[in-house]
Each structure stands twice: as C-alpha cells, then as structure tokens.
Amino acid sequence: MKIEEKSSIRCGTHGTRTPAIVCCHMTQAKDLVVGFVENSSDPDDLQAWCAACEQLYLEEGDKTERFKAFNDFKVVCDFCYASLKERHSDTV
Ligand SMILES: [Zn+2]
Ligand SMILES: [Zn+2]
C-alpha cells in the first residue's frame, strides 16, 4: 500500500478524509479491546498501534522487519481512527 504525502483517503463510510495509520489488530478485532497506543505527537500525523504491537516494539527497540510484519499497518480515515481510539482505549 502506498501512502503519499498530503494525500487523502477515500473511506467507504466517511468519504474523502485525511489518512491515518493503525495496526491490523485494531481493524480486525471486532469485539476485543486491544489497546490504543498513539505513537506520534504530531496531530497531522495520526499513527497508533495496539498494546501487543507496543510490547513488540519495546522488545525490538525499533520498527524492525519483524515488527512491521506483526504490525501490518492499515490506512484508515481520521474519523475511523477516532472511533478505533474510542473503542480500543479502555484497557490500557
Ligand atoms: Zn497491533
Ligand atoms: Zn472512515
């Protein structure tokens, strides 16, 4: 998946929006709360992953190939990002 700078994303639910990055676990977890760890302090650069990804990231110490394979990030729109945040923030 290619991400272009200043690009927009066409979300099936929300239309043309700003893209945001989450890990595959958040989008795949339907009923589970997997945690929500935001890893960018820049409000224009929305990126987050779940608690398991955070754990592996800390173990690996970097965004290694192993980490990237596990994380398998997905691009969502900023509205979807906000709702994932709400849904997965509970336990952490
Ligand atoms: Zn994850
Ligand atoms: Zn959306």
Mind listing the pLDDT tens digit for each residue in 11-22? 999 999 999 999
The closest ligand to the CA of 26 turns out to be: 1
Query: At CA 7, angle to CA 39 and CA 57, rounded to 5?
Result: 20
For residue 91, pLDDT beyond 70: no
Residues 29, 30, 33, 35: what is their CA dihedral angle, to the nearest 10 degrees?
40
Q: What is the pTM of this model?
A: 0.84
Determine the average pLDDT of the residues in 62-74. 97
Q: Return the closest-CA partner of residue 13 out of 74, 73, 79.
A: 79
The pLDDT value given to residue 92:
47
Distance (angstroms) between ligand 2 centre and the Cα of 79 equals: 5
Cα–Cα distance, 16 to 57 (Å, whole number): 31
| Nearest ligand atom owner, CA of 22 | 1
Calculate how far, in angstroms, residue 6's C-alpha sits from the geometric centre of ligand 1.
Answer: 25
Q: What is the pLDDT of residues 5-62, one digit of tens each?
A: 568 999 999 999 999 999 999 999 988 999 999 987 777 789 999 999 999 999 999 9
CA 10 / ligand 2 centre spacing (Å): 8
Ligand with the closest atom to the CA of 50: 1
